[in-house]
Amino acid sequence: MLTNRQLFLLNTAQTSHSPRLIEIERAEGVYLYGPNGEKYIDLVSGFAVSNIGHRHPKVLEAITHQLNKYLHVTVYGEFVQAPQVALATKLLSVLPDRFDTVYFTNSGAEATEGAMKIAKKFTRRREIFAAHKAYHGSTQGALSLMGNTEYHRAYAPLLPEIKFIHYNAPADLHQITTDTAAVILEAIQGEAGIRVPDADYMRSVRKRCDDVGALLIFDEIQTGFGRTGKLFAFEHYGIEPDIILLAKGMGGGMPIGAFVANRSVMDVIKDNPILGHITTFGGHPVSCAAALASLQVILDERLIGHVDRKAQLFRQYLQHPAIHEIRGKGLMLCLQLNTFAQVEQISNYCAAQGVIIDWFLHCETALRIAPPLTISEDEIRTACDVILDALSKLDG
Ligand code: PLP
C-alpha cells in the first residue's frame, strides 16, 4: 500500500520539484504533529495565517456554532448572512472612518483582483503602479503586479499598463501621475525578504497619490491582524490607504479575504453593469464566523501588546556570525544568510529537530520567522536554540 507521502506526490499537483513533504496529522497552538510522533514548533504560521495559533478553541467554537446553522446558502452579496454582517461591522470598527464597506473574498489574490477593478473603475484610469519584488497573489491580474518578471514570462501577456517602482525609493514617485489609477504596495514587503519601508516614504507615497488623484492600495495580507505589532501595519506610518487588502491571518485558519474601502469607491461595482464583481463562496459563513472569533481573540487576549517583546527575544537569542541581518517588524522577521544552500540546510535540520522555518519567494538567501503571536517565551527560547544549533553545523 502506498504511503500518504507517495500518494501526495502521485495524485496532488506539486508547485516545485522539492516540496518539504512534512506530513501533518494534527495541529494545536504553536505545534504541528506528524503521524509518527513528530512534534514541530511552527515558526511560519502556515505563512502568516495562524496568528492566534492553530485551532484556537474560540475559533473552533464559532465554527461549530455556525456549522449547526448553515453552510453555503447563496452567492455573495444577496442574502443577509449574520456572520458576514457581524464580521464586517467588527472589522470596520477597528479601521479608520474612511473604511466603511467590506467586500469578502476567498483569498488574498481575489482581494487584489477586486481592488484593482474598483480602482480602475472609480478613477476611470488604467495605469497601476506596483513595486519591484512585490507579491500580491498568483491569479493573472495579481500576477501582473508581481515585481519579478521571471514569473511573468511564461504567462504573458498579462495585464497592460502595469508599471513598477522601487519599494522605499522616493525618487521613483514622480512616475505616478494623473494617468495613474492606483498604487499598490505591501505595507511591509513580505516575499522580498521582509523589507520595512521608512514611514517618511509611505507618507510621500500617500501625498503623491493625493496630488495626482490616484488611489493608494495597501496589501496587508501578510502584515495584518497584529503580526507587525499593530493590528494593521499602516498604523506604523501615520497615514491611511484608500483600499486595504486582507486575507491570511484574517480567518483564524479558515480561508477568507477582503478588500475594504470607502463606499464611494466600492459602489462602482454596483452598476453599469450591475454585478461588477461577484463570487460564489466569498465571505463563506463558516469562514466569517471563524474570522470574527479570531479578531476577537486578538483583541481580548491583547496579543498585539506582546509582539514587540517576543520579537525582541528572537533578535536577542539569534546572534550568530552567519546571520548578517535580522530584518522585520514585530513577528514578521527574516534572518539574512549568504546562500540558498545555507537556508535549505538550516530549514531541513530545524524540521528534523522539530522547528518549522522557511524562506521567501523573492529572497531565497533568508529565513522566514513568523510564529503564531501566541508563542511563549519558553517556546521562543527552545526554537532559537534549535536554529542556533543548525547554524553551528553549517558547512564551511
Ligand atoms: N499578498 C501578499 C502580501 C501575500 O503574501 C500573499 C500570499 O502569500 C497574497 C497577497 C496572496 O494571497 P493568497 O495566497 O491567499 O491568494
pLDDT digit string, tens, across residues 340-391: 999 999 999 999 999 999 999 999 999 999 999 999 999 999 999 999 999 9
Nine-digit cell at 151? 514569473
Reported as a single tens digit per residue, the pLDDT across 185-215 is 999 999 999 999 999 999 999 999 999 999 9
Pair 244, 260: CB distance under 8 Å: yes
> Residue 361 and residue 357: Cα distance in Å, rounded?
14
What value does the mean pLDDT take over residues 5-32? 96
Give the pLDDT confidence of 89-141 residue by residue, as tens digits.
999 999 999 999 999 999 999 999 999 999 999 999 999 999 999 999 999 99
- CA separation for the pair 76, 330 (Å, rounded): 34
pLDDT of residue 276: 93
Q: Which atom of ligand 1 is nearest to the CA of 255?
A: 15
Rounded CA-CA distance 265/283 in Å is 20
**HSE of 341, CA atoms in CB hemisphere, 13 A:** 4
Nearest atom within ligand 1 for CA of residue 112? 10
Confirm or reject: Cβ of 220 under 6 Å from ligand 1: no
Q: What are the C-alpha distances in Å from 70 to residues 63, 87, 276, 286, 295? A: 11, 16, 27, 8, 21
What is the three-state SS of 126-158?
CEEEEECCCCCCCCHHHHHCCCCHHHCHHHCCC
Q: Nine-digit cell at 362?
A: 523573492
Would you say residue 317 has pLDDT above 80? yes
pLDDT at 395 over 90: no
Ligand 1 mean position, distance from CA 221 (Å): 6
Alpha-carbon distances of 137 from 45, 108, 151, 248, rounded to whole Å: 18, 6, 12, 12
Q: Which atom of ligand 1 is the closest one to the Cα of 220?
A: 3
- Neighbouring C-alpha atoms within 13 Å toward the C-beta of 270: 10
Ligand 1 within 6 A of 218 CB? no
Among the atoms of ligand 1, which is closest to the Cα of residue 109?
Answer: 16
DSSP 164: E
Confidence tier at 23 by pLDDT (50, 70, 90)? very high
DSSP 357: -
Residue range 148-169, pLDDT digits in tens: 889 999 999 999 999 999 999 9
| Segment 197-202 long-range contacts (CB within 8 Å, at least 24 positions apart) | 197/167, 197/168, 197/237, 198/168, 199/236, 199/237, 199/238, 200/170, 201/168, 201/169, 201/170, 202/234, 202/237, 202/239
| Ligand 1 contacts CB of residue 137 (under 6 A) | yes
Contacts of 292 (CB under 8 A, 6+ apart): 62, 83, 86, 87, 90
* 24, pLDDT greater than 60: yes
Nearest to 198 by CA among 211, 213, 187, 209: 187
Residue with the smallest CA separation from ligand 1 atom 7 is 137
107 lines ligand 1 (CB under 6 A): yes
From the list 185, 325, 159, the residue with the least C-alpha distance to 245 is: 185
Mutate to test the pocket of ligand 1, among 106, 222, 281 (most ligand atoms within 8 A of CB): 222
- Taking the CA atoms of residue 295, residue 299, residue 305 and residue 311 in that order, the dihedral angle to the nearest 10 degrees is -20
The C-alpha cell 452567492 sits at: 75
Report the alpha-carbon distance of residue 102 to residue 243 in Å, rounded.
10
- Residue among 246, 248, 287, 360 to mutate when testing ligand 1 (max atoms within 8 A of CB): 248
* Site of grid cell 522539492: 18
Q: Beta-carbon neighbour count of residue 157 at 10 Å?
A: 8
Where along the chain do its domains lie?
Answer: 4-55+304-392, 57-300
Class for the domain spanning 4-55+304-392: alpha beta
Cell 543548525, located at residue: 390
Q: Hey, whose CA ends up nearest to atom 1 of ligand 1?
A: 136
Question: Is residue 141 lining ligand 1, measured as CB closer than 6 Å?
Answer: no
Ligand 1 within 6 A of CB of 189: no
CB contact at 8 A, 91 and 295: yes
Q: Which amino acid is at 297?
A: V
57-300 topology per CATH: Aspartate Aminotransferase; domain 2 (3.40.640)
State whether the beta carbon of 251 lies less than 6 angstroms from ligand 1.
no
pLDDT greater than 90 at residue 396: no
CA of 354 to the centre of ligand 1 (A): 26
Q: Is the CB of 222 under 6 A from ligand 1?
A: yes
CATH topology identical between 4-55+304-392 and 57-300: no
Is the CB of 135 within 6 Å of ligand 1?
Answer: yes
Q: What percent of the chain has pLDDT over 70?
A: 100
The DSSP code for 118 is H
Question: How many angstroms does the Cα of residue 108 sit away from the middle of ligand 1?
Answer: 5
In DSSP terms, which residues pair with 329 in a beta bridge?
Answer: 332
All 3 cell numbers of residue 379? 517556546
Distance CA 168, CA 292 (A): 33
For ligand 1, the distance from its centroid to the CA atom of residue 47, given in whole angstroms, is 9
346 in helix, strand or coil? Answer: helix
Choice from 105, 135, 186 to test ligand 1 binding pocket (greatest atom count within 8 A of CB) = 135
- The one-letter code for the residue type at 42 is D
Ligand 1 centroid from CA 257, angstroms: 10
pLDDT higher than 70, residue 281: yes
Indicate if ligand 1 lies below 6 Å from the C-beta of 190. yes
Burial class, 284, CB count within 10 angstroms (exposed 0-12 / middle 13-18 / buried 19+):
buried
Q: Is the CB of 136 under 6 A from ligand 1?
A: yes
